[in-house]
Amino acid sequence: MDLFDYMREKNEKRESPLASRMRPATLEEVVGQEHIIGKDKLLYRAIKADKLGSVIFFGPPGTGKTSLAKVIANTTKSEFRQINATTSGKKEMEEIVSAAKDALGMYGKRTILFVDEIHRFNKAQQDYLLPYVEDGTVTLIGATTENPYFEVNSALLSRSKIFELKPLSRENIEELIRRAVYDERGMGMYNAVIDDNAVHFIADIAGGDARAALNAVELGILTTDRAEDGKIHITLPIAEECIQKRAVGYDKDGDNHYDTISAFIKSMRGSDPDAAAYYLARMLYAGEDIKFIARRIMICASEDVGNADPMALVVAVNACLAVERVGMPEARIILSQAANYVACAPKSNSSYMAVENALKEVERSGSLPIPPYLQDAHYRGHEDLGRGVGYKYAHDFPKHWVDQQYLPDAIKDVKFYEPSDCGRDKETREFLKYLKSDN
């Protein structure tokens, strides 16, 4: 390294963002993620022994995916190469694979390839890596904020160990904040101090994202004047200015989107209006399409409430129409009303189960013959074919009901619809019993 390279590297380290400067160099410096890098865990042992196979790290931003890769880079005796899937193409991968073949063939040295944002690779790019991962030319470390089971080829997944990184705890974030303020690698040279309530606030508002917390600390120190004692004081008001809005982890195209809507629906199904309101608020806060939310409420109203309270579907459908006409921000009130109604309504999935069971029967038995007396009789000559002959018109009988077979002969005794014992469903069940009774 010549003088210019040395000065360039030194300046880059000094000028790089705080979150980058504070990346751990060893496993012992990593904060959080004990469930995968605790001393008795597989990943810890594999990194320490330098026997790591292909892995994929996935989790929300700021949880340490790249940091773990850097720790591996500092620990391994293998060649370590890093690319970002958003900027790297096939040519760069070809160069890395070629160098990896040479290193393995000539020196017996493995190559670890770290691919950040691996979900950004298209299928062809992922397929290109597959044979070299399979034959050991490269050991793959992938990092992604998306669920790899949605975004990464199944062939690559089957050859990789999947590790999920969780959002850091409040205590983890607080430890990182204090380390960043007072450590010389971080902001220690600025002679700054941070109040405990400011630490608590930033740690809480960061939502498990270390990068968001460290960015706030850096901004606060760099934009605050020194006090009379010569120190930079990071107080609660300064912290509030530096991280004004909690960053909600939510990507409309990612698995967090599906996780949140799933929790929303399950909360309504589980008759918990408080949880339904919370997940509704999370989606609205993150800018989810209000029409999408309204459609999910309609589905829940039919699938999970059904005829236990038929008004639930009426409310949900009208809410869908209303949000289209009103728009935000008032649409949030309409969606809340509909979600609360569905959550608090008596529940029945009888209609859902009826059509599901009937579909299974149709798939199993095909198009069974319809009883002739139920067939169309609105044409001349139907009597000669026996169509419609013998049909009993229900309104001609007491209770507007008559004992008559409607299902095909082969399944005449099958029950598809079984009303539940909740709400209007219970009344329906009793009414059906009444029809078949003698009085």
> 150: which DSSP letter?
H
33-164 maps to which CATH number?
3.40.50.300
How far apart, in whole angstroms, are the C-alpha atoms of residue 91 and residue 100? 14
Task: For 97-134, give the DSSP string.
Answer: HHHHHHHHHHH---EEEEEETGGGS-HHHHHHHHHHHH
**220-269: pLDDT as tens digits:** 999 999 999 999 999 988 988 887 655 555 555 556 678 889 999 999 99
Residue of 208, 207, 193 whose CA lies nearest to 238 = 193
> 301: which DSSP letter?
I
Residue ranges of the chain with pLDDT lower than 70? 1-15, 244-256, 380-382, 384, 439
Residue with tokens 């930033």: 202
161 forms bridges with which residues in the sheet? 55
CB under 8 Å to 78, separation ≥6 — which residues? 50, 109, 110, 111, 112, 139
170-242 maps to which CATH number?
1.10.8.60
Is 255-344 assigned to CATH 1.20.272.10?
A: yes
- What pLDDT is recorded for position 194? 94
**176-218: pLDDT as tens digits:** 999 999 998 889 889 999 999 999 889 888 878 888 899 999 9
- What pLDDT is recorded for position 310? 93
Total-model pTM: 0.60
How far apart, in whole angstroms, are the C-alpha atoms of residue 62 and residue 176? 12
- The domain at 365-436 falls in which architecture? Orthogonal Bundle (1.10)
Would you list the domain boundaries of the chain?
33-164, 170-242, 255-344, 365-436
- What pLDDT is recorded for position 403? 86
